[in-house]
Amino acid sequence: QYPPRTFSFSSIYTCRSIGLVRHSSIVTVDVVVDTQTMFATHVTQTVHSSRSSFAGSVASFSTSKTVVRAPVQQLRVEASRVCDLTGKRANNGYVVTFSHKRNKKLQQPNLQYKKVYWPEGQRWVKLRICTKAMKTIEKNGLQSMAKEAGIDLWKLPFEDARPQRKEWLAQQEVKPPMKKNTRKMKNPEKLAASTKTPLKAEYVSGKIAYTRER
């Protein structure tokens, strides 16, 4: 490593070229430069004119790097088209034209999202199965097919169909969802003086209707 060197210069045109002064003046600059990194570490000035300025000194001696980043690509994940119970997947086939040209294609299975009742667990289990598996479930049963496929039915999304659950739901009062009022008054004095009654949601012929009590 070499020791840092000190350079001093006094010139109007040189200072103008690097952006040290804006007006005609005499400027003396002492710069300490490292011979390896070529980076200015100390700058002093002597200005003999009150109208001169030291603008642009930091920008002239600073090393700036432009970082160009690649655009971020969104990750797209698609579920595999495979039956959960039978393992049926796409078949290799051809599209034969009128002139007997063969173009390769995939014959995908007819997969459907189906809620199947599981009598042992007393619940409806959601599966993605093909239409052929629906007939096989009626013949062999859901639990035996899931055991062959290595599927744990207790870990799948479900709807509870126990009689205790149905009784509890029947006893509960059905409350339709209430939309959020963003313009609701927050001043308690104005709320107390208001003559309007609050909105009430109710089901009318299968649809939600919002009415006010009179």
Q: Could you tell me where the DSSP H helices lie in the chain?
A: 12-18, 57-61, 131-140, 142-149, 163-171, 188-193
pLDDT at 10 over 50: no
**Structure confidence at residue 206 as a pLDDT band (50, 70, 90):** confident
Q: At a CB cut-off of 8 Å and minimum separation 6, what does 201 contact?
A: 175, 176, 177, 178, 179, 208, 209, 210
- Per-residue pLDDT tens digits for 124-183: 999 999 999 999 999 999 999 999 999 999 999 999 999 999 999 889 888 888 878 888
> How much of the chain is helix, strand and coil, in % rounded to 5?
20, 30, 50
What is the structure's pLDDT at 80?
86
What is the structure's pLDDT at 48?
44
